[in-house]
């Protein structure tokens, strides 16, 4: 046994990731190429004796977005013979993509143009990590998140993982963790 590890798997290519649009809560499916990317990664990285060995996994966190769900299934598709019943799979908003709010589906240039037209960012250009995202407009306005809000929810997951792995840092038990979500933070 060895020191516990945490693996991060970003979802495969979607139409919006391919063309650079901000994708938060929109349910954009993987492209055929995205599915191929994930299958190839799974064959190379996941399986008995590979980097991500299912027998070493104890927990998997998955974003609720369909692109992350499909990535999870395709990534582990080659593990049919490997035991996974001991793995706790948690589908959680805690690792969901950034809430882009008003900017959902927008290109970075559109965000800059919109903010300029509304008189924002006079002193410095928009930076999602500093400025966050505004809520959308109208009755169905999407919630925009700040970097602090994203940090808070991700810190909850990090705390859970630390608590899970801390007693076994010398390899006393297999407690590897896999997270399947998005890259996030464009702008």
Domains of the chain: 6-181 (3.40.50.1240)
Residues with a catalytic annotation lie at: 11, 97
Annotated binding site: 23-24, 67, 97-100
Asked whether the beta carbons of 70 and 101 are under 8 A apart, the reply is no
DSSP state of 185: -
Question: Can you tell me the distance from the alpha carbon of 37 to that of 129, in angstroms, rounded to the nearest whole number?
Answer: 28
Residue ranges at the known binding site for substrate? 23-24, 67, 97-100
Instruction: Please report the pLDDT score of residue 170 as a whole number.
Output: 92
Cα(14)–Cα(21) distance, integer angstroms: 10
**Quick one: pLDDT at residue 137?**
76
What is the structure's pLDDT at 85? 78
Per-residue confidence in pLDDT tens, the chain, 187 aa: 689 999 999 999 999 999 999 999 999 999 999 999 999 999 999 998 899 999 999 999 999 999 999 999 999 987 766 667 789 999 999 999 999 999 999 999 999 999 999 999 988 999 999 999 999 876 667 899 999 999 999 999 999 999 999 999 998 999 999 999 987 654 3
CA distance linking residue 54 with residue 177, whole number of Å: 10
Selection from 2, 54, 41, 16 nearest residue 177 by Cα: 54
């Amino acid at each position: 046994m060895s020191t516990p590890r945490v693996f991060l798997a970003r979802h495969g290519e979607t139409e919006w990731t391919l063309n650079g649009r901000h994708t938060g809560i929109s349910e954009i499916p993987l492209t055929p190429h995205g599915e191929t990317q994930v299958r190839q990664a799974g064959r190379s990285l996941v399986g008995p004796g590979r980097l991500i060995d299912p027998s070493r996994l104890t927990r998997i966190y998955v974003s609720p977005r369909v692109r992350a769900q499909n990535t999870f299934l395709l990534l582990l598709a080659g593990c049919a013979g490997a035991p996974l019943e001991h793995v706790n799979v948690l589908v959680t908003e805690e690792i969901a993509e950034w809430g882009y709010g008003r900017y959902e589906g927008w290109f970075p240039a559109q965000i800059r143009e919109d903010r300029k037209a509304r008189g924002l960012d006079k002193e410095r250009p928009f930076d999602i990590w500093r400025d966050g995202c505004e809520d959308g407009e109208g009755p169905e306005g999407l919630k925009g998140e700040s970097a602090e809000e994203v940090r808070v929810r991700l810190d909850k997951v990090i705390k859970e993982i630390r608590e899970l792995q801390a007693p076994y840092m010398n390899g006393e038990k297999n407690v590897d963790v896999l997270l399947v979500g998005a890259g996030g933070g464009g702008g």
